[in-house]
A and B are shown apart, each in its own frame.
Chain A
Amino acid sequence: GIQVEQSPPDLILQEGANSTLRCNFSDSVNNLQWFHQNPWGQLINLFYIPSGTKQNGRLSATTVATERYSLLYISSSQTTDSGVYFCAAYQKVTFGTGTKLQVIP
């Protein structure tokens, strides 16, 4: 099956810093989603982005399907951005390994 790898596995940022999270997938995919999992386990939709670039406030994402990767950009990070970020590739849904982000004041 498809393999989905995320990097870095762990990231510590000072509040206000910018970061880029990467998601690599081993085969072509039809769809890709980014999620933020809060400390209570809820997966919150960030982006549904099979290709191209989208922006939502301080967050943006880019998927280059032909090169099998997606990037999630977080600008001006806040402590509330802390948690685990997952990308998920479809159709037989495969989640990545996750990036655990901690933003410190």
Chain B
Amino acid sequence: AQKVTQAQTEISVVEKEDVTLDCVYETRDTTYYLFWYKQPPSGELVFLIRRNSFDEQNEISGRYSWNFQKSTSSFNFTITASQVVDSAVYFCALLRRAGSYQLTFGKGTKLSVIP
């Protein structure tokens, strides 16, 4: 069975603060993909990143960075110098490589950035 846990239901930060969104996953597969999606108030989920289970290098994209640690089954997402436009619900997801390509989503973390 696969499971994705986002323990933080809601987070509020003041603009320009850094914030880390936690994601812990469970899978018996040795090959899998991890994703982060952003869902702004408009409702449409936007893809942010995909990470292959064989690639544990951390990734940075502008103010966004991701820390993938297989040893702790975590794939955390950090926003540096947060902005009001970062306010959204963020979902972590797990995809099996084999079988049907069924994404398992966490329940999401609602981030509010206060000006």
Is B a genuine binding partner of A? Answer: no
Mark A residues whose CB is within 8 Å of B: none
